[in-house]
A and B are shown apart, each in its own frame.
Chain A
Amino acid sequence: DTEVTQTPKHLVMGMTNKKSLKCEQHMGHRAMYWYKQKAKKPPELMFVYSYEKLSINESVPSRFSPECPNSSLLNLHLHALQPEDSALYLCASSPPVGRRGNEQFFGPGTRLTVL
């Protein structure tokens, strides 16, 4: 299985809602990433987990809360978002930390709209 899956594909939420994005991979990758991508722009790194521990937080607002329950799953909990948070949220994974120069495998993304 060489796939990263993300659910849901689309999400519309109000500014007071709480929702979660889910990501799953079964490639044995031990690094997992959340990116935010605006239209026609490159992905912006938000968080990196390495061996289920948070390794990088790119100064992301606390209304975004990541969670890595196990080596295959990555969640992004959303609360009190703003309209400017509307974007495509991409999950990615890559092989174990000790092997450098490895490409990332991206999921199809969740298209988030905040009203």
Chain B
Amino acid sequence: AQSVAQPEDQVNVAEGNPLTVKCTYSVSGNPYLFWYVQYPNRGLQFLLKYITGDNLVKGSYGFEAEFNKSQTSFHLKKPSALVSDSALYFCAGHPSTGGFKTIFGAGTRLFVKA
């Protein structure tokens, strides 16, 4: 079965420190991978995606993610966290073979302390 795993329910980091939110995947073929962020009582917002090419992907609000095929990981990173980054983050995958169904991870709550 295809899946996306986010091993941490919550990540705590101090403002100004680097942050990492982990994601591993088990998606067939060469998957398309995404990160979305959700603020309270809002819909999901797209942050970045990996389709092909450079393993380091840069996205919105200073976030980046590194695709590692050998470790089947797609961790989200930011060099310097802001309090306003506190939100729920979802990693998602989509098989390159097509179809409409996106596989979402369980989500990781990021808490940035001032």
Which residues of A pack against B, CB within 8 Å? 4, 6, 31, 33, 40-43, 45, 48, 50, 55-56, 88, 90, 92, 100-101, 103-109, 111
Contacts and interface: CB of A to CB of B under 8 A. Distances in A.
A7 B59 CA distance: 29
Contacts of B102: 45, 104
Interface residues of B, number: 24
B36 to A, nearest CB: 8
Contact of B43 (A45, A48, A107): A107
B100 A100 contact: no
Given A101-B32, A103-B34, A42 B45 contact: no
Nearest to A42: B104
17 contacts: A40-B109, A42-B105, A42-B107, A50-B100, A56-B101, A90-B43, A90-B44, A92-B44, A100-B94, A101-B96, A104-B44, A104-B102, A106-B36, A106-B43, A107-B43, A109-B41, A109-B43
Contacts, number: 58
Nearest to A103: B46
Determine chain A's interface SS by DSSP, over half rule. Answer: strand
B100 A48 contact: yes
A48 B101 CA distance: 9
Given A40-B107, A40-B109, A109-B43, A100 B98 contact: yes
A85 B50 CA distance: 34
Nearest to B97: A100
Contact of A104 (B46, B98, B105, B109): B46
Given A101-B49, A101-B96, A103-B34, A43 B44 contact: yes
B32 A100 contact: yes
